[in-house]
Amino acid sequence: DGGITQSPKYLFRKEGQNVTLSCEQNLNHDAMYWYRQDPGQGLRLIYYSQIVNDFQKGDIAEGYSVSREKKESFPLTVTSAQKNPTAFYLCASSIVGMESPLHFGNGTRLTVT
């Protein structure tokens, strides 16, 4: 069954710690994305990658980092520099091309106290 797997579903961290969110896809998609969703603010793009070993900043990249060493995997690290890290994080993938819709994972809820 093809899809996108995000883990864990819930994550709790203390302030000042870095944390890495996992995203794996078996859809053979070249493009992968990370979004942040806060109540009332819709989806905000953090980073995206069109091809292995290459990625671009989205609208709110500050305090985040990513890597794309494999086509299937696009982990997101939330660093201690991110001022308001508590949020719902969504990973998505697509074929590269504006006619291709995004397919989403089921998200990771990160709570930092």
Partner 1 sequence: QKEVEQDPGPLSVPEGAIVSLNCTYSNSAFQYFMWYRQYSRKGPELLMYTYSSGNKEDGRFTAQVDKSSKYISLFIRDSQPSDSATYLCAMSGGSYIPTFGRGTSLIVHP
For partner 1, the binding residues (CB under 8 A) are: 4, 6, 31, 33, 40-43, 45, 48, 88, 90, 92, 94, 96-107, 109
Q: How far is the CB of 35 from partner 1 (least distance, A)?
A: 8
Inter-residue contact 111 to 11 (CB < 8 Å): yes
| Of 82 and 93, CB closest to partner 1 | 93
β-strand pairing of 64-66 with 19-25 = unpaired
| Of 43 and 60, CB closest to partner 1 | 43
Q: How far is the CB of 80 from partner 1 (least distance, A)?
A: 26
Write the single-letter amino acid at 78.
V
| Of 16 and 40, CB closest to partner 1 | 40
- In sequence order, the β-bridge partners of residue 57 are 47
The residue behind tokens 């980092």 is 65
Helix (H, G, I), strand (E, B) or coil at 84: coil
Q: How far is the CB of 16 from partner 1 (least distance, A)?
A: 27
Q: How far is the CB of 101 from partner 1 (least distance, A)?
A: 5
CA distance 93 to 52: 13
